[in-house]
Amino acid sequence: MAGRAATSSAKWAREFLFRRVSSNPLGATRNCSSVPGASSAPKVPHFSKKGRILTGATIGLAIAGGAYVSTADEATFCGWLFNATKVVNPFFALLDAEFAHKLAVSAAARGWVPREKRPDPAILGLEVWGRKFSNPIGLAAGFDKNAEATEGLLGMGFGFVEVGSVTPVPQEGNPKPRIFRLSEDGAIINRCGFNSEGIVVVAKRLGAQHGKRMLAETSGTSSSPGEEVKPGGKSGPGILGVNLGKNKTSEDAAADYVQGVHNLSQYADYLVINVSSPNTAGLRMLQGRKQLKDLVKKVQAARDEMQWGDEGPPPLLVKIAPDLSRGELEDIAAVALALHLDGLIISNTTVSRPDPVTNNPVATEAGGLSGKPLFALSTNMLREMYTLTRGKIPLIGCGGVSSGEDAYKKIRAGATLVQLYTGFAYGGPALIPQIKEELVSCLERDGFKSIHEAIGADHR
């Protein structure tokens, strides 16, 4: 078996190197397209000197990997490949923040990222909404806004990936620059403003991925030679969430979310109503008790009126802000329980500037703050919401997660699932297996035999 694994890895390395040498990854600058039907992978924008350094480093890793696989089995090589990304990742810090983001999405879309071949430990598996998650660690919305790289991102070992926010009509978002690093604080400030290629483009991409998955299942083949089709969601291994947003100029928010449901829900394992971005004027007003109740009712009705098979409609969640008062949290919890909402995501970015960010000159930039400084605020809010909903509604903990210990604290506070974004932006692909390994250690240390046993443990 080790010989076959080494042969397979060597073949992968040759193909990996060939793709890079025979293609030009540094093309013309790609702006957010508004052309319906544009379903191809994104073109990498030109960035001559630093781009060449990054490409050279990647090719060097491929050559080194090709030499290494002759003496390593597949699992060992897989671990080496994830660790090797630590060499490349610092180069991204030399690039403009938004350019680095586009480059990362493009790399994942083309499969130029490590692919996790090792199965997740059984202790991390869980079932939520009738869907099986191999692990509870997901990628939050905002990274793959236009569903360009779902296969590559899921392939890296995330238990689930959430794309979006997707708006009905394409829009450019707010003026650039709009993404700012606070590297010493492990934080990011963004004021992107729902830059989106729109429903038509995203639906076409998700439809193609869904069709590919269905073809693989019915034919007994897989997307890659020698690779088994793994159980997962509608987009393949792993679970896919779709985060819905509204257009900046829309006067009817509910109509925008309903349009998203009608066009994208058939490709989603779960849906999210995003009413908490601080970068779209008036959006957070939809978190008020009456406004949220009316909105959720309309979106639920739109979803339920569609034709669904045996698996039923996708679960519907709401993503809320971390800057809410106790009274506002009580109102949201009441709406969620009364309307049998399937879940809440806690939380989005914050407009506050918690310590130690207050001393950073970049903190004066407008926008939502994410990353390590958000951890305490979002986790405390998660703990409150678990109490208010009496543990009856699955909660996704999001905000400041950069280690397995962070993920574990979210779970103990009441999270069923956990998402990261900024931690991934700084830590790169190597952070994914690291978090899962650390999470397993945390569970075993405290005597838990499953994720389900640890959920809400701090309340018991």
Question: What DSSP designation does 29 have?
Answer: -
Give the torsion sign (CA, 20, 22, 27, 30). negative
Going by C-alpha positions, the residue among 214, 215, 220, 271 that lies closest to residue 242 is 271
CB 142 within 8 A of CB 421: yes
Q: How far apart are the first and last CA of the chain?
A: 46
Instruction: Let me know: does 276 contact 347? Beta carbons within 8 Å.
Output: yes
Q: What is the largest CA-CA distance in the chain?
A: 63
Which residue, among 183, 417, 180, 394, has the nearest Cα to 279 in the 3D structure? Answer: 180
| 354 Cβ contact partners less than 8 Å away, ≥ 6 residues apart | 369, 373, 374, 376, 377
Task: Give Cα separations from 411 to 3, 427, 457 (angstroms).
Answer: 40, 21, 8
Report how far residue 440's alpha carbon sits from residue 75's, in angstroms, rounded to the nearest whole number. Answer: 18
Q: How far is CA 301 from CA 168, 246, 332, 388, in A?
A: 18, 18, 19, 25
Query: 81: helix, coil or strand?
Result: helix
Burial label for 445, CB within 10 Å (0-12, 13-18, 19+), is exposed
Q: Which residues contact 340 (CB under 8 A, 6 or more apart)?
A: none
Cα–Cα distance, 372 to 298 (Å, whole number): 36
Per the annotation, the verdict on 70 as an active-site residue is no
Q: What ranges in 230-288 are assigned the alpha helix state H?
A: 253-264
Catalytic residue among 235, 265, 277, 403: 277
Strand partners, 371: 187
Active site positions, annotated? 277
